[in-house]
Structure 1
Amino acid sequence: MVPISILLNVVHGFSALIYFGAIMIFGAVFAPRLAKLSSSTLYELFKEIFPPVLSFAEAVGLLTMVFGAGEFLHYMIGYYQLGGTSLVYTVLFSTPWGASVLSGAIIGLVGFLVGVRIATLFERLFKLYKSTNPSSLDEIRVVEAKLRMYSLIGMVLLSATVLLMVLAVSFLPLPT
């Protein structure tokens, strides 16, 4: 039987790789170039391609969060069983591993909330491109600018999270 910690780690790690790659490709490749595309191309992208891609990215992001939280809770429950709340507090706030994991989790949560904001902006763009109102062009440009800004912020937060988590699981010893 596979230990729960390995299962949590593998699913969390694999889904995180997919999510990180999807966010980086979108934030570095697609978002900066949206303003350069014609309205008809953007309409087709927003109508046919982006909705399923966005749904997939949201699902993988949630999977990453759920299994990461499960992994975190698994370790914290283990530390609690060994020494109670004082050991959990010591591990989280007095060890490099704990500080890295805790700060990575907090930054990751903020990054996920930025992702939710990006999804909201996408929904607005979907509606604006479906609108036949010519005055919506100015609003489209504003939403596209916000989308580029939030994509950049999301990439920075996600990169920081990944660096902290890689640091914690690859180089910092697990507290004993």
Structure 2
Amino acid sequence: MTPPISILLNVVHGFSALIYFGGVMLFGAVFAPKLTRLSSSTVFELMREVFPTVLSFVEAVGLLTMVFGAGEFIHYLIGYYLAGGFSLVYRVLFSTPWGASVFSGALLGLAGFVVGIKIASTFETLFKLYKSTDPSKIDQIKLLEIKLRFYSLVGMVLLTMTVLLMVLAVSFLPIPS
């Protein structure tokens, strides 16, 4: 029987991961590539009114995903440690397909979250530049928009690989006993 804490960790992690992944994909695949095609006034309004709130929400959901995913990972590791010590933990993580998938997914997810932080800091800089009325900042804004598209693409790739590894681990690979 699965303990209630495991169910709670799994449900919150999975649900928040879906929202986070959807937000990243929507932004990376739809919004970021189109920013340069929009008029300056539209981008200005998006940067001032819409994106700060959306970005805060996506960051919060990403952090929730990471915390509950780490909790779930630690919960499993504690169970394996109690059942057989460090040797069993090592064997499960590095000698089973499930462990390799979960461990690799966790590392890629962490890398994706770091890229997400870079995207957020780029956005913060863009927000400040768009609030400035200095016309000499246009080149700096264009450069940041290019970086934003690149970081968004890298984030989408990392998070897609993470999701595929995690789906593989929880759907198709048996949990080691």
User: Which TM-score band applies after superposition, normalised by the shorter structure?
Assistant: over 0.9
**Aligned-residue offset at 1:3:** 0.9
**Aligned-residue offset at 1:38:** 1.1
Give the aligned partner of residue 81 of structure 1: 82
Distance in 2 (alpha carbons) for counterparts of 1:116 and 1:3: 32
Q: How does 1:43-58 map to 2 (within 5 A)?
A: 43-58=44-59
Name the amino acid aligned to 1:43. Answer: F
Name the amino acid aligned to 2:126. Answer: L
1:31-60 per-residue CA deviation (whole Å, 9 max, x = no partner) reads 000001111111100110000100000000
Mark the runs of 5 or more structure 1 residues left unpaired by the alignment: none
> Is structure 2 residue 150 aligned with structure 1 residue 145?
no
Please identify runs of 4+ aligned residues in structure 1 that moved more than 2 A: none
Name the amino acid aligned to 2:139. Answer: D
Give the aligned partner of residue 59 of structure 1: 60
Distance in 1 (alpha carbons) for counterparts of 2:129 and 2:43: 11
Q: How does 1:20-169 map to 2 (within 5 A)?
A: 20-169=21-170
**Aligned-residue offset at 1:109:** 0.3
Name the amino acid aligned to 1:89. Answer: Y
What TM-score comes out, normalization by structure 2 length?
A: 0.98
What TM-score comes out, normalization by structure 1 length?
A: 0.99
RMSD value, Cα: 0.6
Tell me the SS of whatever aligns to 1:173.
coil
Mark the runs of 5 or more structure 2 residues left unpaired by the alignment: none
Q: How many residues align?
A: 175
